Structure 1
Amino acid sequence: MNTNRVAIVTGGSRGIGRAVALHLAATGHPVVLAYAGNTAAAEATVGDIEAAGGRATAVRADVADEHAVAALFDTTEEQYGGVDVVVHAAGRMHLSPIADLDLDELDAMHRTNIRGTVVVAQQAARRLRPGGALVTFSTSQVELRHPTYGAYIASKSAVEGLTLVLARELRGRDVTVNAVAPGPTATDLFLDGKDDATLDRLAKLAPLERIGTPEEVAEVVGFLASAAGHWVNGQVVRANGGIA
């Protein structure tokens, strides 16, 4: 397995993606983080990585644009020599009862979550070096099936199916493909607009009776991306404290 491992993290400027970028950088990976539009957040993440002694580059890229994603991989190969780990954390969520669902919101969400995953997975399948790993992101809502999550669950169920098929298509390549499905996780996006009573109710869903942290999810991703986790392949890992 290549010891000079280079990582791409989409959605790497905020939330779980940022935690993953920081974790991989701390474990020795040069990291190229892709972001959709928040340049300040992306540059802040790069600054934090570099301040801790790591190496990182931020690249703006729409994950659903095949040309932008190809350029992202080109930049990574040109700057660091290759690609060994791809973590596709970029995603979009819109909640609504199915009867009231805005179909434009559905299209936008599926463009990012389904098309974006296909586009990133295509480049990963073509370019990951032997010993490499692709980690996609689903959600524990696929099993929980809470009201208003229907369209989001539909998009993430597609991600799970794609991930499991790709793991089998890469037979003989020495590349693993897995998905991580977090439960409630204390990101700014998750916490925004929720009062203490709501957060307490959500915390009680898991037998561990708390909400997870982005860093805990990043640790799971780091394991799947590492030599220690290379025997785990074609799986959906539900990192949620036992909620489902």
Structure 2
Amino acid sequence: MTKIDGRKLSHEELEKIRIAAVKRVLAGESPELVIKSVGFHRSCIYDWLSQYQKHGEEGLKAKPITGRPPKLTEEHLNQLVSVLQKKPTEFGIEKALWDRESFKLVIEQTFQVKISKTGVSRLLAKLGIYSKEDYDFSANDSLRERVAVIKMEAKKSREVLYFISNHPITNDIDNSPTAICLCAVTAKGDLRFILATQEQAELVGNQFTESLTLTVQKPVKLVELDELKQFSYVTGTDGATATDVNTDSVNNQDPMSTSFYSASHTQYL
């Protein structure tokens, strides 16, 4: 299939791509190959599959914008993405990583507006930094069981469990990437994140775990969210292995293992 440039598509066309991509995976194609063929980031296909499991095709459609007009314009949001690529300390906030509290504070300082906790959650989702639904594992039996095992292992090792993701922040107008977000979230929703340019992503990523450990002041265990979701679709909800959707990256993996990063041991387990 010819690769599609998603940056040039309307919301209606994007809906069609989401639905078609999910149908291709359900028909047996590899999620990794499907998402590569349509030109989107690899995490998108697992988000679409998750939304489909919860809401069917309705979950893949663009949501209408309702309610009162937002306090921040699209221009403000683009400016905010640039602001968040700086360290919180540059704004007098004594934190190594951004969290909900510092995110709220820098918005109020920069744009002279008041924002509620609900408003913070909506902005985090709108910017593509964090959405609660992305970390809802209840809809998939194999995924839910897998997460339960991971939580138990973290508890035994007395480490703080974080689910981490590395994904692009895109411009709503043309869907082009404007930054890379490194995000870490606990099972209870405690959020830490940083934004960086694509050129800085690798360097910032190396600093992220160290900063997270220093912030939490406890050993941490990190689990890759994309990889976790990927395994949940290789193993069907009935427990049977769906070999038709296996990808090269998971063919030789134990179905009950995942990539952990244990900061207390500074090695992959």
Q: TM-score, normalised on structure 1?
A: 0.29
Q: Select the structure of larger CA radius of gyration.
A: 2
Q: TM-score, normalised on structure 2?
A: 0.28
